[in-house]
Chains A and B, each alone.
Chain A
Protein backbone atom coordinates (compact mmCIF):
# COMPACT_ATOMS: atom_id res chain seq x y z
CA UNK A 1 0.00 0.00 0.00
CA UNK A 2 1.20 3.51 -0.80
CA UNK A 3 2.48 5.62 2.05
CA UNK A 4 0.63 8.81 3.01
CA UNK A 5 1.78 12.02 4.66
CA UNK A 6 -0.54 14.22 6.71
CA UNK A 7 0.07 17.22 8.97
CA UNK A 8 0.00 16.08 12.61
CA UNK A 9 -2.56 18.62 13.75
CA UNK A 10 -4.74 21.54 12.73
CA UNK A 11 -7.34 23.81 14.27
CA UNK A 12 -10.58 24.89 12.68
CA UNK A 13 -13.26 27.40 13.67
CA UNK A 14 -16.75 26.06 14.21
CA UNK A 15 -18.94 26.70 11.18
CA UNK A 16 -16.02 27.16 8.83
CA UNK A 17 -14.78 24.68 6.26
CA UNK A 18 -11.94 22.38 7.32
CA UNK A 19 -9.51 21.40 4.56
CA UNK A 20 -7.35 18.39 5.42
CA UNK A 21 -4.45 17.67 3.04
CA UNK A 22 -2.86 14.32 2.30
CA UNK A 23 0.15 13.50 0.14
CA UNK A 24 0.40 10.09 -1.53
CA UNK A 25 3.01 10.59 -4.23
CA UNK A 26 3.69 6.84 -4.70
CA UNK A 27 0.06 5.87 -5.29
CA UNK A 28 -0.54 3.17 -7.89
CA UNK A 29 -3.17 3.24 -10.59
CA UNK A 30 -5.44 0.73 -8.88
CA UNK A 31 -5.21 2.21 -5.38
CA UNK A 32 -8.08 4.14 -3.86
CA UNK A 33 -7.87 7.03 -1.40
CA UNK A 34 -9.87 6.47 1.79
CA UNK A 35 -10.61 8.77 4.71
CA UNK A 36 -11.56 7.57 8.17
CA UNK A 37 -11.84 9.43 11.43
CA UNK A 38 -11.59 8.38 15.05
CA UNK A 39 -13.43 10.35 17.70
CA UNK A 40 -11.85 10.08 21.14
CA UNK A 41 -10.99 6.36 21.40
CA UNK A 42 -14.11 5.18 19.57
CA UNK A 43 -13.78 2.79 16.66
CA UNK A 44 -12.73 4.46 13.40
CA UNK A 45 -15.55 5.70 11.17
CA UNK A 46 -15.52 5.62 7.39
CA UNK A 47 -15.96 9.04 5.77
CA UNK A 48 -15.42 8.81 2.03
CA UNK A 49 -13.27 7.26 -0.69
CA UNK A 50 -12.28 7.98 -4.29
CA UNK A 51 -10.17 6.74 -7.17
CA UNK A 52 -9.79 9.58 -9.68
CA UNK A 53 -12.83 11.80 -9.56
CA UNK A 54 -13.86 14.17 -6.84
CA UNK A 55 -16.46 12.71 -4.52
CA UNK A 56 -19.07 14.13 -2.17
CA UNK A 57 -21.37 12.57 0.37
CA UNK A 58 -23.36 13.78 3.33
CA UNK A 59 -20.27 14.00 5.52
CA UNK A 60 -17.56 15.47 3.34
CA UNK A 61 -16.03 16.13 -0.06
CA UNK A 62 -12.87 14.54 -1.42
CA UNK A 63 -10.76 16.41 -3.96
CA UNK A 64 -8.07 14.35 -5.73
CA UNK A 65 -5.48 16.09 -7.89
CA UNK A 66 -5.25 15.15 -11.55
CA UNK A 67 -1.94 13.33 -11.04
CA UNK A 68 -3.46 11.60 -7.97
CA UNK A 69 -0.40 12.39 -5.87
CA UNK A 70 -2.36 14.32 -3.27
CA UNK A 71 -5.89 14.84 -2.03
CA UNK A 72 -7.90 17.08 0.28
CA UNK A 73 -10.76 16.15 2.55
CA UNK A 74 -13.21 19.00 3.02
CA UNK A 75 -15.60 19.21 5.95
CA UNK A 76 -17.88 21.99 4.68
CA UNK A 77 -19.20 23.31 8.00
CA UNK A 78 -17.16 21.98 10.87
CA UNK A 79 -18.91 21.38 14.19
CA UNK A 80 -17.50 20.63 17.61
CA UNK A 81 -18.44 16.97 17.04
CA UNK A 82 -15.97 16.85 14.13
CA UNK A 83 -13.07 17.06 16.58
CA UNK A 84 -11.22 13.82 15.88
CA UNK A 85 -8.13 12.23 14.36
CA UNK A 86 -8.50 11.97 10.58
CA UNK A 87 -6.69 9.23 8.70
CA UNK A 88 -5.89 9.25 4.99
CA UNK A 89 -5.29 5.70 3.72
CA UNK A 90 -4.34 4.48 0.27
CA UNK A 91 -4.90 0.85 -0.73
CA UNK A 92 -6.19 -1.54 -3.36
CA UNK A 93 -9.89 -2.18 -2.75
CA UNK A 94 -10.58 -5.73 -1.64
CA UNK A 95 -6.97 -6.73 -1.07
CA UNK A 96 -6.04 -8.75 2.04
CA UNK A 97 -9.46 -8.62 3.58
CA UNK A 98 -9.76 -4.89 2.97
CA UNK A 99 -6.96 -4.27 5.45
CA UNK A 100 -6.31 -0.67 6.43
CA UNK A 101 -2.82 0.64 7.21
CA UNK A 102 -3.16 3.58 9.59
CA UNK A 103 -0.48 6.25 9.83
CA UNK A 104 -0.36 9.04 12.38
CA UNK A 105 -3.33 10.95 10.98
CA UNK A 106 -4.23 14.61 11.52
CA UNK A 107 -5.61 15.63 14.88
CA UNK A 108 -8.33 18.18 14.14
CA UNK A 109 -9.58 20.45 16.90
CA UNK A 110 -12.72 22.41 16.11
CA UNK A 111 -12.94 25.52 18.28
CA UNK A 112 -16.05 27.56 19.14
Chain B
Protein backbone atom coordinates (compact mmCIF):
# COMPACT_ATOMS: atom_id res chain seq x y z
CA UNK B 1 0.00 0.00 0.00
CA UNK B 2 1.17 3.50 -0.83
CA UNK B 3 -0.86 4.86 2.09
CA UNK B 4 -1.86 8.53 1.82
CA UNK B 5 -0.24 10.39 -1.07
CA UNK B 6 -0.28 14.13 -1.73
CA UNK B 7 0.72 16.15 -4.77
CA UNK B 8 2.43 18.47 -5.32
CA UNK B 9 5.06 18.50 -2.55
CA UNK B 10 5.75 22.21 -3.06
CA UNK B 11 3.82 24.98 -4.78
CA UNK B 12 4.22 28.74 -5.19
CA UNK B 13 1.19 30.79 -6.22
CA UNK B 14 0.51 34.43 -6.84
CA UNK B 15 -2.33 36.15 -5.03
CA UNK B 16 -5.62 35.48 -6.77
CA UNK B 17 -4.55 32.29 -8.51
CA UNK B 18 -6.49 29.07 -7.98
CA UNK B 19 -5.21 25.54 -7.66
CA UNK B 20 -6.10 22.06 -6.48
CA UNK B 21 -4.13 20.05 -3.95
CA UNK B 22 -4.47 16.35 -4.58
CA UNK B 23 -4.89 13.65 -1.95
CA UNK B 24 -5.36 9.94 -2.52
CA UNK B 25 -5.42 6.85 -0.30
CA UNK B 26 -5.43 3.18 -1.22
CA UNK B 27 -6.59 1.75 2.11
CA UNK B 28 -10.34 1.95 1.38
CA UNK B 29 -10.81 4.40 4.26
CA UNK B 30 -14.21 6.00 4.58
CA UNK B 31 -12.99 9.11 6.37
CA UNK B 32 -10.68 11.72 4.85
CA UNK B 33 -9.66 15.15 6.11
CA UNK B 34 -7.62 18.21 5.22
CA UNK B 35 -5.58 20.13 7.79
CA UNK B 36 -3.33 23.14 7.56
CA UNK B 37 -0.34 23.86 9.75
CA UNK B 38 1.08 27.35 10.09
CA UNK B 39 4.65 27.84 11.35
CA UNK B 40 5.05 26.87 15.02
CA UNK B 41 1.40 25.89 15.35
CA UNK B 42 -0.61 22.71 15.61
CA UNK B 43 -2.74 21.41 12.76
CA UNK B 44 -6.20 22.89 12.15
CA UNK B 45 -9.02 21.08 10.37
CA UNK B 46 -10.22 22.64 7.09
CA UNK B 47 -12.75 20.15 5.68
CA UNK B 48 -13.54 16.51 6.17
CA UNK B 49 -15.53 13.73 4.50
CA UNK B 50 -17.16 10.65 6.01
CA UNK B 51 -17.70 8.97 2.66
CA UNK B 52 -18.07 9.49 -1.08
CA UNK B 53 -20.44 12.36 -1.74
CA UNK B 54 -20.42 13.62 1.87
CA UNK B 55 -18.30 16.54 3.04
CA UNK B 56 -18.44 18.98 5.94
CA UNK B 57 -16.60 22.04 7.21
CA UNK B 58 -13.94 21.99 9.85
CA UNK B 59 -12.46 24.78 11.92
CA UNK B 60 -11.03 26.97 9.11
CA UNK B 61 -13.00 26.31 5.86
CA UNK B 62 -13.09 29.81 4.34
CA UNK B 63 -11.34 30.06 0.98
CA UNK B 64 -11.34 26.31 0.37
CA UNK B 65 -13.63 23.89 -1.43
CA UNK B 66 -13.68 20.11 -1.37
CA UNK B 67 -15.52 17.29 -3.08
CA UNK B 68 -15.46 13.51 -2.66
CA UNK B 69 -16.57 11.73 -5.81
CA UNK B 70 -14.66 8.51 -5.03
CA UNK B 71 -13.54 6.75 -1.86
CA UNK B 72 -9.89 7.12 -2.87
CA UNK B 73 -9.62 10.83 -3.69
CA UNK B 74 -10.26 14.01 -1.72
CA UNK B 75 -8.97 17.11 -3.55
CA UNK B 76 -8.73 20.52 -1.87
CA UNK B 77 -9.36 23.58 -4.04
CA UNK B 78 -8.08 27.06 -3.30
CA UNK B 79 -10.49 29.39 -5.05
CA UNK B 80 -8.47 32.63 -5.00
CA UNK B 81 -5.18 32.24 -3.18
CA UNK B 82 -4.23 34.77 -0.51
CA UNK B 83 -0.94 35.22 1.41
CA UNK B 84 -2.79 34.10 4.57
CA UNK B 85 -3.12 30.66 2.98
CA UNK B 86 0.64 30.17 3.00
CA UNK B 87 0.94 27.01 5.04
CA UNK B 88 1.68 23.30 5.01
CA UNK B 89 -1.35 21.22 4.08
CA UNK B 90 -1.83 17.69 5.33
CA UNK B 91 -4.36 15.14 4.18
CA UNK B 92 -5.43 12.30 6.49
CA UNK B 93 -7.60 9.21 6.25
CA UNK B 94 -9.04 6.60 8.60
CA UNK B 95 -11.59 3.85 8.93
CA UNK B 96 -14.99 4.66 10.33
CA UNK B 97 -16.19 3.34 13.69
CA UNK B 98 -18.67 1.10 11.88
CA UNK B 99 -15.76 -0.53 10.09
CA UNK B 100 -14.11 -1.26 13.41
CA UNK B 101 -11.71 1.64 13.25
CA UNK B 102 -12.11 5.26 14.24
CA UNK B 103 -8.89 5.50 16.20
CA UNK B 104 -5.77 5.70 14.08
CA UNK B 105 -5.49 8.38 11.41
CA UNK B 106 -2.94 8.13 8.63
CA UNK B 107 -1.38 11.34 7.38
CA UNK B 108 0.20 12.19 4.06
CA UNK B 109 3.62 13.86 3.72
CA UNK B 110 2.16 17.33 3.19
CA UNK B 111 2.11 20.04 0.51
CA UNK B 112 4.09 23.19 1.24
CA UNK B 113 2.26 26.15 -0.27
CA UNK B 114 3.55 29.70 -0.56
CA UNK B 115 1.29 32.49 -1.78
CA UNK B 116 3.08 35.66 -2.86
Contact = CB atoms under 8 A, between A and B. Distances in A.
Chain A contact residues: helix, strand, loop or mixed: loop
A34 B31 CA distance: 17
A93 interface: yes
Interface string A92-112: 011011111111110000000
Interface in B6-64: 31-33, 35, 42-45, 48-50, 56, 58-59
Contacts of A94: 96-97, 102
Nearest to B4: A43
Chain B contact residues: helix, strand, loop or mixed: strand
B50 A97 contact: yes
A47 B80 CA distance: 37
A46 B104 contact: yes
A46 B104 CA distance: 6
Interface of A: 32, 34, 36, 41-46, 49, 87, 93-94, 96-105
